[in-house]
Structure 1
Amino acid sequence: MADELIFYTNPMSRGQIVRWMLEEVGARYEPRVLDYGTTMKDAEYLAINPMGKVPAVVHNGKVVTECAAICAYLADAFPEAGLAPNPSDRADYYRWLFFTAGPVEQAITAKHFGVEPDADQQRMAGFGSLSAALDALESAVAGKAFVAGDRFSAADVYVGSQIDWGLQFGTIPSRPAFEAYVAPLRERAAYKRAKEIDNGLIAEMQAAGTAPA
């Protein structure tokens, strides 16, 4: 099939980020919902992502994993969607896309597991500390509508998703800059479509008793 795009996901996962990105892109895609305990660990899927995690996309036979990489890839693969900024704005685009995927997520995960690096460990850890990572993230969005330049981009999908998720579940503390940045993103038509799809799938899984505890 020409321009085949397959999306492997679970609605209760970071696949929600890629779902939003796909809805922004507007390209036709085939969703394949995997289960954590079974199909995500089957040999068929492990051949696509040896980590046995979602999301992943296969586009014209090429595999892309990791949410930030998928967002950046889709922006380039479908330039007509206008989700990759102008070259002059690519510095902020790459910087904050991958800063959020790296130090911010690492810091949040470490905190969730009860790990708080001491002063010496902070020099070795890429994220330093959670407060330092969040302060830097705040500087990226404070007083701005978009992370890179003057228009919405794939970086806003990823950065916006992480802040949106963090505010909802308490892994990122509420700050005026974070709240102001995500509020208009939640009003985007593609965001709402993606949420409607994934929330519908979650409801079906819960009704069937197949949602993870």
Structure 2
Amino acid sequence: MMDELFLYTNPMSRGRIARWMLEEVGISYRAEILGFGTTMKDSAYKAVNPMAKVPALVHGRNTVTECAAICAYLADAFPAAGLAPAAAQRADYYRWMFFAAGPLEAAVSNRALGFEVPEGRERMIGYGTFADVMDTLEFALRSNSYIAGDNFTAADVYVGSQIGWGLQFGSIEKRPAFEQYFGRLALRDAYLQAAEKDDAAAAGLQRAG
């Protein structure tokens, strides 16, 4: 697929996940930095993503939003990068990517907002309890170097980003399994390149502000 890639993002957002994934793919792309409450709310961008949030990826005629979907899409669109397992070996890949997009993000967000599931009502919410989610995430990392086995995949970009932010901001417990896992990911060239570009973009926004 030779169509140009456009990433709509902000360096202080989940767009950092999409940037990291693009760097792992190793394909040239253009990044357009949008401002919260300004260009992100313009009608032109709402035509791309009616939610008026970032990131959004435009690839030819295809538009993809939601970070887990962007990671999965790019892995499939550029198979030469080797970021998705073979179709018959994707059970853990899908399982843990979407565990992070559902129960993990919901549990961490609710806890950060001070919301606790009322006792006895855990079955009404997708993640049960925060402790359940942390224990399950640790289970996923207990026996493998990466989230879906012995090889790095797009699922590690998504799950690793959630864990990295959580450790940095205190919203995920500092368990050894989490720290060791993210420590491996943070040494990757693509991660470092993406962080350098986003940090530069953030500095530019600060100067402009």
Aligning the two structures, in what range does the TM-score lie when normalised by the shorter sequence?
Answer: over 0.9
Paired letter, 1:77: A
- Equivalent residue number for residue 205 of structure 1: 205
Give the TM-score, by structure 1 length.
0.95
Which residue in the other structure is 1:66 paired with?
Answer: 66
Contact 1:85–1:149 (CA<8 Å) still a contact in 2? no
CA RMSD of aligned residues (A): 1.2
Higher mean displacement: 143-152 or 167-176:
143-152
Kept after mapping to 2: 8 A contact 1:142/1:178 = no
Cα drift, residue 196 of structure 1: 0.3
Aligned to 1:138: 138
Q: Distance in 1 between matches of 2:164 and 2:27?
A: 24
Cα offsets for 1:86-121 (capped at 9, x unmatched) = 234300000000000111100111111111002332
Map 1:168-187; keep pairs closer than 5 Å.
168-187=168-187
> Counterpart in 1 of 2:49?
49
TM-score (norm 2): 0.97
Matched position secondary structure for 2:24: helix
Deviation at 1:2, TM superposition (A): 4.1
SS in 2 for 1:120: coil
Which ranges of 4 or more aligned residues in structure 1 deviate by more than 3 Å?
A: none
Displacement, 1:150?
1.9
Could you list the runs of 5+ residues in structure 1 that have no partner in the other structure?
A: none
SS at match of 1:6: strand
Kindly, what percent of the aligned residue pairs are identical?
A: 59
Number of the residue aligned with 2:34 = 34
> Is contact 1:143-1:177 (8 Å) kept?
no
Q: Which residues of 2 match residues 156-171 of structure 1 at below 5 A?
A: 156-171=156-171
Structure 2: runs of 5 or more not aligned: none
Q: Secondary structure at the match of 2:90?
A: helix
In the alignment, residue 177 of structure 2 is paired with which amino acid? A
Hey, what's the Cα distance between the residues in 2 that align with 1:205 and 1:45? 19
Please give the per-residue CA displacement for 1:2-56, whole angstroms capped at 9, x wherever unaligned.
4111100000000000100000001111111101111111111111111000001
Measured in 2, the distance between the counterparts of 1:42 and 1:207 equals: 22
Matched position secondary structure for 1:198: helix
| Residue 204 (structure 1) shift | 1.6
